Amino acid sequence: MLTDSGNSMVDEALTILSVLANHQEAKAAIVKASTIPVLIDLLRTGQPRNKENAASILLSLCKRDGENLACLSRLGAVIPLSEIAKSGTERAKRKATSLLEHLRKLQHV
């Protein structure tokens, strides 16, 4: 369902995941379901709202979690995040910029 970025159900699913990603148990389940690669793909190819929600979810998953942050780096999230930080919606820009800052800190550790 999350791979069809033109589908309105994707918007709804991402909105729900965005809320759930703020709860520890749900966060673990989201990561366990291997959604990080799908979310990164949405950063590249999704509609603006998809990108915004994907960035929000990834930020929630990566806060205080070096393993998830390292996964973002390995899977090539820096380029799409940089593009979103420049030309995304205002909310997407904030989320992408925050993720990029976390990734920079990880590289300096």
The string of pLDDT tens digits covering residues 32-84 is 999 999 999 999 999 999 999 999 999 999 998 999 999 999 999 999 999 99
Say what percent of the chain tops pLDDT 90. 83
Whole-number pLDDT of residue 2: 54
Q: Which residues contact 74 (CB under 8 A, 6 or more apart)?
A: none
Domain that holds residue 13: 8-107
Q: Between 5 and 19, where is the model more confident?
A: 19
Domains of the chain: total? 1
Q: Do the Cβ atoms of 58 and 36 come closer than 8 Å? A: yes
User: What does the pLDDT read at residue 6?
Assistant: 58
- Examine residue 3 and state whether it is found in any structural domain, yes or no: no
CATH number for the domain spanning 96: value is: 1.25.10.10
Is residue 1 included in any domain, yes or no? no
Predicted confidence at residue 8, as pLDDT, reads: 82
Q: What is the mean pLDDT of the chain?
A: 91
- Does any domain span residue 76? yes
